[in-house]
Protein backbone atom coordinates (compact mmCIF):
# COMPACT_ATOMS: atom_id res chain seq x y z
CA UNK A 1 0.00 0.00 0.00
CA UNK A 2 1.27 3.49 -0.84
CA UNK A 3 1.16 6.16 1.84
CA UNK A 4 -1.77 8.51 1.34
CA UNK A 5 -1.29 11.75 3.31
CA UNK A 6 -5.00 12.61 3.22
CA UNK A 7 -5.72 10.10 6.02
CA UNK A 8 -2.95 11.44 8.27
CA UNK A 9 -3.93 15.02 7.47
CA UNK A 10 -7.32 14.43 9.07
CA UNK A 11 -5.52 14.05 12.40
CA UNK A 12 -4.03 17.59 12.30
CA UNK A 13 -6.43 20.41 13.22
CA UNK A 14 -4.03 23.10 11.96
CA UNK A 15 -4.11 21.75 8.42
CA UNK A 16 -7.84 22.40 8.08
CA UNK A 17 -7.91 26.03 9.14
CA UNK A 18 -8.90 28.89 6.92
CA UNK A 19 -7.18 32.20 7.53
CA UNK A 20 -8.84 35.19 5.83
CA UNK A 21 -11.16 32.70 4.08
CA UNK A 22 -8.27 30.89 2.46
CA UNK A 23 -6.74 27.48 3.19
CA UNK A 24 -3.30 27.30 4.76
CA UNK A 25 -0.18 25.58 3.40
CA UNK A 26 2.51 24.70 5.88
CA UNK A 27 5.93 24.51 4.26
CA UNK A 28 7.61 25.57 7.51
CA UNK A 29 8.08 22.07 8.99
CA UNK A 30 11.87 22.38 9.42
CA UNK A 31 11.17 25.31 11.76
CA UNK A 32 8.57 23.28 13.70
CA UNK A 33 5.89 20.88 12.48
CA UNK A 34 2.15 20.94 13.13
CA UNK A 35 0.81 18.53 15.75
CA UNK A 36 -1.93 15.90 15.61
CA UNK A 37 -4.96 16.08 17.91
CA UNK A 38 -3.66 13.11 19.92
CA UNK A 39 -0.66 15.17 21.05
CA UNK A 40 -2.89 18.05 22.10
CA UNK A 41 -5.19 15.63 23.97
CA UNK A 42 -2.30 13.95 25.79
CA UNK A 43 -0.90 17.27 27.03
CA UNK A 44 -4.32 18.54 27.99
CA UNK A 45 -5.17 15.32 29.80
CA UNK A 46 -1.97 15.34 31.83
CA UNK A 47 -2.32 18.97 32.88
CA UNK A 48 -6.05 18.65 33.48
CA UNK A 49 -5.87 15.58 35.74
CA UNK A 50 -2.41 14.70 37.00
CA UNK A 51 -0.31 17.85 37.15
CA UNK A 52 2.19 17.10 39.90
CA UNK A 53 5.85 16.30 40.59
CA UNK A 54 7.90 13.16 41.16
CA UNK A 55 8.06 10.97 44.24
CA UNK A 56 4.87 11.85 46.16
CA UNK A 57 2.69 9.25 47.90
CA UNK A 58 -0.50 10.22 46.09
CA UNK A 59 -2.19 9.40 42.79
CA UNK A 60 -1.15 12.34 40.63
CA UNK A 61 2.49 12.08 41.64
CA UNK A 62 2.46 8.31 41.01
CA UNK A 63 1.00 9.04 37.61
CA UNK A 64 3.68 11.66 36.91
CA UNK A 65 6.50 9.29 37.90
CA UNK A 66 5.01 6.61 35.63
CA UNK A 67 4.77 9.17 32.82
CA UNK A 68 8.49 9.99 33.06
CA UNK A 69 9.38 6.27 33.07
CA UNK A 70 7.22 5.70 30.00
CA UNK A 71 8.64 8.75 28.20
CA UNK A 72 12.18 7.40 28.72
CA UNK A 73 11.15 4.00 27.35
CA UNK A 74 9.49 5.61 24.32
CA UNK A 75 12.59 7.77 23.73
CA UNK A 76 14.73 4.63 23.98
CA UNK A 77 12.57 2.96 21.33
CA UNK A 78 12.52 6.05 19.14
CA UNK A 79 16.31 6.13 18.77
CA UNK A 80 16.92 2.42 19.51
CA UNK A 81 19.05 3.08 22.60
CA UNK A 82 20.29 0.07 24.60
CA UNK A 83 18.42 1.25 27.71
CA UNK A 84 15.88 3.86 28.80
CA UNK A 85 18.61 5.11 31.13
CA UNK A 86 20.48 6.45 28.10
CA UNK A 87 17.75 9.02 27.45
CA UNK A 88 17.83 12.53 28.90
CA UNK A 89 15.19 15.24 28.54
CA UNK A 90 15.63 19.00 28.50
CA UNK A 91 14.07 22.26 27.34
CA UNK A 92 15.21 21.99 23.71
CA UNK A 93 18.21 20.84 21.69
CA UNK A 94 20.16 24.08 22.16
CA UNK A 95 19.81 24.15 25.93
CA UNK A 96 20.73 20.46 26.19
CA UNK A 97 23.75 21.00 23.97
CA UNK A 98 25.04 23.96 25.97
CA UNK A 99 24.57 21.92 29.15
CA UNK A 100 26.18 18.77 27.78
CA UNK A 101 29.04 20.65 26.12
CA UNK A 102 30.05 22.04 29.52
CA UNK A 103 29.94 18.55 30.99
CA UNK A 104 31.70 16.78 28.12
CA UNK A 105 34.47 19.39 27.97
CA UNK A 106 35.10 19.40 31.73
CA UNK A 107 38.43 17.61 31.41
CA UNK A 108 39.62 19.15 28.14
CA UNK A 109 43.01 20.83 28.29
CA UNK A 110 45.14 23.35 26.47
CA UNK A 111 46.07 21.86 23.08
CA UNK A 112 43.00 19.62 22.79
CA UNK A 113 40.95 20.03 19.61
CA UNK A 114 37.30 19.94 18.64
CA UNK A 115 35.80 19.78 15.14
CA UNK A 116 32.50 21.38 14.11
CA UNK A 117 31.11 21.86 10.60
CA UNK A 118 29.92 24.68 8.35
CA UNK A 119 26.79 22.64 7.59
CA UNK A 120 25.56 22.78 11.18
CA UNK A 121 22.95 24.87 12.94
CA UNK A 122 24.96 27.03 15.35
CA UNK A 123 23.52 25.32 18.42
CA UNK A 124 26.06 22.63 17.55
CA UNK A 125 28.85 25.13 16.85
CA UNK A 126 28.70 28.01 19.35
CA UNK A 127 28.28 25.64 22.31
CA UNK A 128 31.52 23.84 21.40
CA UNK A 129 33.32 27.05 20.46
CA UNK A 130 32.63 28.50 23.90
CA UNK A 131 33.53 25.24 25.65
CA UNK A 132 36.81 25.19 23.71
CA UNK A 133 37.54 28.82 24.62
CA UNK A 134 36.99 28.07 28.31
CA UNK A 135 39.51 25.21 28.20
CA UNK A 136 42.10 26.66 25.83
CA UNK A 137 41.21 24.04 23.24
CA UNK A 138 41.28 24.72 19.50
CA UNK A 139 38.14 24.55 17.38
CA UNK A 140 38.26 23.67 13.68
CA UNK A 141 35.34 24.07 11.31
CA UNK A 142 34.93 21.70 8.37
CA UNK A 143 34.16 23.46 5.09
CA UNK A 144 31.17 22.76 2.88
CA UNK A 145 31.45 20.97 -0.40
CA UNK A 146 29.60 23.70 -2.30
CA UNK A 147 28.61 21.50 -5.23
CA UNK A 148 26.01 19.64 -3.18
CA UNK A 149 26.05 21.54 0.15
CA UNK A 150 27.39 18.51 1.96
CA UNK A 151 30.42 18.31 4.25
CA UNK A 152 33.82 18.40 2.58
CA UNK A 153 34.90 14.97 3.80
CA UNK A 154 38.52 15.40 2.69
CA UNK A 155 38.76 18.59 4.70
CA UNK A 156 37.22 16.79 7.69
CA UNK A 157 39.76 13.97 7.45
CA UNK A 158 42.62 16.45 7.23
CA UNK A 159 41.53 18.11 10.51
CA UNK A 160 41.26 14.87 12.48
CA UNK A 161 44.23 13.85 14.66
CA UNK A 162 45.12 12.29 17.99
CA UNK A 163 44.40 15.59 19.80
CA UNK A 164 40.77 15.65 18.55
CA UNK A 165 38.50 15.22 21.56
CA UNK A 166 35.14 15.56 19.87
CA UNK A 167 33.45 15.91 16.49
CA UNK A 168 30.10 17.77 16.54
CA UNK A 169 28.14 17.24 13.37
CA UNK A 170 24.64 17.39 11.99
CA UNK A 171 22.88 14.33 10.58
CA UNK A 172 20.97 16.44 8.04
CA UNK A 173 21.08 20.12 7.08
CA UNK A 174 18.10 22.16 8.27
CA UNK A 175 18.66 24.50 5.30
CA UNK A 176 19.45 22.37 2.26
CA UNK A 177 18.08 19.00 3.40
CA UNK A 178 21.45 17.29 2.66
CA UNK A 179 21.89 13.98 4.49
CA UNK A 180 25.37 13.55 5.95
CA UNK A 181 27.35 10.31 5.67
CA UNK A 182 27.46 10.17 9.43
CA UNK A 183 28.75 6.60 9.68
CA UNK A 184 31.89 7.63 7.80
CA UNK A 185 32.45 10.49 10.23
CA UNK A 186 31.86 8.35 13.31
CA UNK A 187 34.22 5.63 12.11
CA UNK A 188 36.99 8.14 11.33
CA UNK A 189 36.50 10.03 14.62
CA UNK A 190 36.52 6.87 16.73
CA UNK A 191 39.69 5.71 14.98
CA UNK A 192 41.55 8.64 16.60
CA UNK A 193 39.72 8.26 19.94
CA UNK A 194 37.37 11.25 19.48
CA UNK A 195 33.76 11.32 20.66
CA UNK A 196 30.93 12.17 18.24
CA UNK A 197 28.01 14.46 19.11
CA UNK A 198 25.20 14.30 16.53
CA UNK A 199 22.53 16.91 15.91
CA UNK A 200 19.60 14.85 14.62
CA UNK A 201 17.04 17.66 14.87
CA UNK A 202 16.38 17.93 11.14
CA UNK A 203 16.86 14.21 10.52
CA UNK A 204 14.35 12.94 13.09
CA UNK A 205 11.05 13.70 11.29
CA UNK A 206 12.29 12.17 8.03
CA UNK A 207 14.30 9.03 8.86
CA UNK A 208 14.30 6.61 11.77
CA UNK A 209 17.32 7.05 14.07
CA UNK A 210 19.29 4.02 15.28
CA UNK A 211 22.01 5.02 17.74
CA UNK A 212 23.25 1.46 18.19
CA UNK A 213 23.74 1.01 14.48
CA UNK A 214 25.48 4.41 14.36
CA UNK A 215 27.60 3.67 17.44
CA UNK A 216 27.62 7.39 18.29
CA UNK A 217 28.48 8.84 21.67
CA UNK A 218 25.78 11.50 21.90
CA UNK A 219 22.75 12.38 19.79
CA UNK A 220 20.17 15.11 20.28
CA UNK A 221 16.80 15.91 18.73
CA UNK A 222 13.75 18.07 19.36
CA UNK A 223 10.16 16.80 19.55
CA UNK A 224 8.59 19.94 18.08
CA UNK A 225 10.21 19.05 14.75
CA UNK A 226 8.51 15.64 14.64
CA UNK A 227 4.88 16.46 15.42
CA UNK A 228 5.32 16.85 19.17
CA UNK A 229 5.66 19.68 21.70
CA UNK A 230 8.73 21.71 22.61
CA UNK A 231 11.07 19.23 24.28
CA UNK A 232 14.75 18.38 23.83
CA UNK A 233 15.88 14.74 23.87
CA UNK A 234 19.47 13.54 24.26
CA UNK A 235 21.00 10.09 23.95
CA UNK A 236 24.15 9.45 25.99
CA UNK A 237 26.02 6.23 25.18
CA UNK A 238 26.32 3.75 28.08
CA UNK A 239 30.08 4.26 28.51
CA UNK A 240 29.59 7.98 29.30
CA UNK A 241 26.51 7.88 31.50
CA UNK A 242 28.30 7.48 34.82
CA UNK A 243 31.78 8.70 33.86
CA UNK A 244 30.65 12.24 32.95
CA UNK A 245 30.30 14.63 35.87
CA UNK A 246 27.26 16.82 35.24
CA UNK A 247 26.70 20.15 36.99
CA UNK A 248 23.83 19.40 39.34
CA UNK A 249 22.28 20.34 42.68
CA UNK A 250 23.56 18.12 45.46
CA UNK A 251 20.31 16.41 46.53
CA UNK A 252 19.35 15.53 42.92
CA UNK A 253 19.91 11.89 41.84
CA UNK A 254 23.51 10.73 41.41
CA UNK A 255 22.66 7.81 39.16
CA UNK A 256 21.11 7.44 35.74
CA UNK A 257 19.81 10.05 33.32
CA UNK A 258 18.27 12.24 36.04
CA UNK A 259 21.83 13.34 36.92
CA UNK A 260 21.78 15.37 33.72
CA UNK A 261 18.31 16.85 34.16
CA UNK A 262 18.22 20.12 36.04
CA UNK A 263 15.05 21.19 37.82
CA UNK A 264 11.52 19.98 37.20
CA UNK A 265 10.75 18.28 33.92
CA UNK A 266 8.16 19.55 31.48
CA UNK A 267 5.77 16.68 32.19
CA UNK A 268 3.03 17.86 29.82
CA UNK A 269 5.59 17.88 27.01
CA UNK A 270 6.64 14.35 27.94
CA UNK A 271 2.98 13.31 27.58
CA UNK A 272 2.88 15.04 24.18
CA UNK A 273 6.15 13.45 23.14
CA UNK A 274 4.82 9.93 23.87
CA UNK A 275 1.74 10.75 21.77
CA UNK A 276 3.91 12.11 18.93
CA UNK A 277 5.92 8.88 18.73
CA UNK A 278 2.67 6.90 18.83
CA UNK A 279 1.40 9.09 15.99
CA UNK A 280 4.52 8.28 13.94
CA UNK A 281 3.95 4.54 14.51
CA UNK A 282 0.22 4.76 13.88
CA UNK A 283 0.40 4.54 10.08
CA UNK A 284 1.95 1.06 10.26
CA UNK A 285 -0.78 -0.04 12.67
CA UNK A 286 -3.39 0.81 10.03
CA UNK A 287 -1.78 -1.53 7.47
CA UNK A 288 -2.64 -4.86 9.09
CA UNK A 289 -3.09 -6.48 12.48
CA UNK A 290 0.40 -7.94 12.84
CA UNK A 291 1.48 -7.91 16.51
CA UNK A 292 4.62 -5.81 16.02
CA UNK A 293 6.64 -3.87 18.60
CA UNK A 294 6.54 -0.07 18.71
CA UNK A 295 10.00 0.01 17.10
CA UNK A 296 8.84 -2.28 14.28
CA UNK A 297 5.78 -0.10 13.68
CA UNK A 298 7.99 3.00 13.62
CA UNK A 299 10.28 1.31 11.15
CA UNK A 300 7.43 0.34 8.79
CA UNK A 301 5.82 3.80 9.07
CA UNK A 302 9.09 5.61 8.38
CA UNK A 303 9.70 3.47 5.28
CA UNK A 304 6.39 4.72 3.94
CA UNK A 305 7.01 8.34 4.97
CA UNK A 306 10.42 8.28 3.33
CA UNK A 307 9.11 6.82 0.05
CA UNK A 308 6.33 9.39 -0.01
CA UNK A 309 8.67 12.29 0.85
CA UNK A 310 10.89 11.21 -2.04
CA UNK A 311 7.92 11.73 -4.37
CA UNK A 312 7.41 15.20 -2.88
CA UNK A 313 11.07 16.01 -3.53
CA UNK A 314 10.83 14.70 -7.08
CA UNK A 315 7.71 16.78 -7.67
CA UNK A 316 9.27 19.92 -6.23
CA UNK A 317 12.48 19.46 -8.24
CA UNK A 318 10.59 18.85 -11.48
CA UNK A 319 8.74 22.17 -10.97
CA UNK A 320 12.05 23.93 -10.33
CA UNK A 321 13.44 22.81 -13.69
CA UNK A 322 11.14 25.34 -15.42
CA UNK A 323 12.95 28.31 -13.89
CA UNK A 324 16.26 29.65 -15.10
CA UNK A 325 16.09 32.47 -12.52
CA UNK A 326 15.91 30.21 -9.44
CA UNK A 327 19.03 28.83 -7.77
CA UNK A 328 18.74 25.72 -5.65
CA UNK A 329 21.38 25.33 -2.93
CA UNK A 330 21.96 21.65 -2.31
CA UNK A 331 21.35 18.33 -3.99
CA UNK A 332 19.44 18.36 -7.28
CA UNK A 333 18.64 14.70 -6.66
CA UNK A 334 15.63 13.55 -4.63
CA UNK A 335 17.28 10.51 -3.01
CA UNK A 336 20.00 11.58 -0.56
CA UNK A 337 18.05 14.44 0.95
CA UNK A 338 15.05 15.38 3.03
CA UNK A 339 12.28 17.31 1.23
CA UNK A 340 13.73 20.63 2.44
CA UNK A 341 14.79 23.09 -0.23
CA UNK A 342 16.87 26.26 -0.07
CA UNK A 343 16.37 28.57 -3.03
CA UNK A 344 16.97 32.12 -4.18
CA UNK A 345 15.29 33.95 -7.02
CA UNK A 346 17.35 36.36 -9.13
CA UNK A 347 16.86 40.03 -8.24
CA UNK A 348 14.33 39.39 -5.45
CA UNK A 349 15.10 39.25 -1.75
CA UNK A 350 14.07 36.14 0.21
CA UNK A 351 12.14 38.46 2.53
CA UNK A 352 9.96 39.74 -0.32
CA UNK A 353 9.26 36.26 -1.64
CA UNK A 354 8.38 34.93 1.81
CA UNK A 355 6.13 37.93 2.48
CA UNK A 356 4.26 37.43 -0.79
CA UNK A 357 3.79 33.72 -0.13
CA UNK A 358 2.78 34.52 3.46
CA UNK A 359 0.03 36.83 2.17
CA UNK A 360 -1.40 33.76 0.45
CA UNK A 361 -1.17 31.62 3.61
CA UNK A 362 1.84 29.78 2.20
CA UNK A 363 4.13 29.47 5.21
CA UNK A 364 7.81 29.40 4.22
CA UNK A 365 10.81 30.66 6.14
CA UNK A 366 13.51 32.99 4.91
CA UNK A 367 16.95 33.88 6.31
CA UNK A 368 19.93 31.86 7.57
CA UNK A 369 18.21 29.57 10.10
CA UNK A 370 21.22 29.79 12.43
CA UNK A 371 23.22 27.85 9.82
CA UNK A 372 25.67 30.70 9.81
CA UNK A 373 28.67 28.73 8.50
CA UNK A 374 26.77 27.56 5.43
CA UNK A 375 25.38 31.01 4.62
CA UNK A 376 28.78 32.61 5.19
CA UNK A 377 30.60 30.20 2.89
CA UNK A 378 27.94 30.60 0.19
CA UNK A 379 28.17 34.38 0.63
CA UNK A 380 24.49 34.66 1.52
CA UNK A 381 24.75 35.90 5.08
CA UNK A 382 24.47 39.59 4.26
CA UNK A 383 22.12 39.05 1.36
CA UNK A 384 19.11 37.81 3.27
CA UNK A 385 19.99 34.11 3.21
CA UNK A 386 17.61 31.83 1.33
CA UNK A 387 13.95 30.93 1.06
CA UNK A 388 13.42 27.59 2.77
CA UNK A 389 10.55 25.42 1.60
CA UNK A 390 10.23 22.38 3.82
CA UNK A 391 7.84 19.50 3.26
CA UNK A 392 6.69 16.99 5.85
CA UNK A 393 4.76 13.80 5.13
CA UNK A 394 1.53 15.74 5.65
CA UNK A 395 2.27 17.95 2.64
CA UNK A 396 0.78 17.10 -0.75
CA UNK A 397 1.72 17.36 -4.41
CA UNK A 398 -1.24 19.71 -4.84
CA UNK A 399 0.17 22.05 -2.21
CA UNK A 400 3.47 22.16 -4.11
CA UNK A 401 1.55 22.98 -7.31
CA UNK A 402 -0.23 25.83 -5.48
CA UNK A 403 3.09 27.15 -4.19
CA UNK A 404 4.47 27.39 -7.72
CA UNK A 405 1.24 28.97 -9.06
CA UNK A 406 1.48 31.72 -6.45
CA UNK A 407 5.19 32.12 -7.18
CA UNK A 408 4.42 32.43 -10.91
CA UNK A 409 1.91 35.24 -10.26
CA UNK A 410 4.46 37.02 -8.09
CA UNK A 411 7.16 36.77 -10.77
CA UNK A 412 4.80 37.82 -13.59
CA UNK A 413 3.67 41.07 -11.96
CA UNK A 414 7.21 42.14 -11.16
Ligand X SMILES: Cc1ncc(COP(=O)(O)O)c(C=O)c1O
Q: What is the rounded distance in angstroms from the CA atom of residue 206 to the CA atom of residue 169?
A: 17
Helices within 105-162 (DSSP H only): 126-135, 153-159
Report, in Å, the least distance between residue 369 CB and ligand X.
Answer: 6
Residue 86 lies near ligand X (rule: CB under 6 A): no
Stretch that binds ligand X, among 106-114, 195-203, 348-356, 396-404 (CB under 6 A): 195-203
9 or 230: CB nearest ligand X: 230
**Three-state SS across 155-179?**
HHHHHCCCCEEEEEEECECCCCCEE
* 251 phi/psi in degrees, rounded to 5: -75, -10
Distances (CA, A) of 268 to 56, 58, 226, 404: 18, 18, 16, 39
Q: Evaluate whether 392 touches 29 at the Cβ level (below 8 Å).
A: yes
112 or 217: CB nearest ligand X: 217
Residues 153-182 that bind ligand X (CB under 6 A): 170, 174
> Which residues, including other chains, have CB under 8 Å from residue 354's CB and lie 6 or more apart?
364, 365, 366, 387
Report, in Å, the least distance between residue 84 CB and ligand X.
Answer: 21
Residue 92 lies near ligand X (rule: CB under 6 A): yes
Residues 115-154 that bind ligand X (CB under 6 A): 121, 123
Burial of 407 (0-12, 13-18, 19+ CB in 10 A): buried
Stretch that binds ligand X, among 2-10, 48-56, 88-96, 358-366 (CB under 6 A): 88-96
Neighbouring C-beta atoms of residue 263, cutoff 10 Å: 9
Q: What is the rounded distance in angstroms from the CA atom of residue 179 to the CA atom of residue 164?
A: 24
Report, in Å, the least distance between residue 194 CB and ligand X.
Answer: 21
Report the residue from 36, 232, 246, 367 that binds ligand X according to the rule CB under 6 A.
232
Report, in Å, the least distance between residue 249 CB and ligand X.
Answer: 23
Report, in Å, the least distance between residue 60 CB and ligand X.
Answer: 28
Report, in Å, the least distance between residue 291 CB and ligand X.
Answer: 35
97 or 361: CB nearest ligand X: 97
Binding site for ligand X (CB under 6 A): 92-94, 121, 123, 170, 174, 199, 201-202, 222, 232
Amino acid sequence: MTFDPSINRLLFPALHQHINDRPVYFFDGPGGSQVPQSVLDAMNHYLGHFNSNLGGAFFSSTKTTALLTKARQVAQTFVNAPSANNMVFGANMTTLTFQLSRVISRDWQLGDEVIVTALDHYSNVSSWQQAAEDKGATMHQVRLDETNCDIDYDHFTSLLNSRTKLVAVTYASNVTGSLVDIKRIITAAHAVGAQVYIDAVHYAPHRLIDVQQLDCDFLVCSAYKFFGPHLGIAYIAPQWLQTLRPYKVEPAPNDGPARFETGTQNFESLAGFIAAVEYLAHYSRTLDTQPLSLRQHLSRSFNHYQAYENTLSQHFLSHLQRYSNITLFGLKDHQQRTPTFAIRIDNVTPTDVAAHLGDHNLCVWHGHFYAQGLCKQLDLLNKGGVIRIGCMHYNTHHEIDTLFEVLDCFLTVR
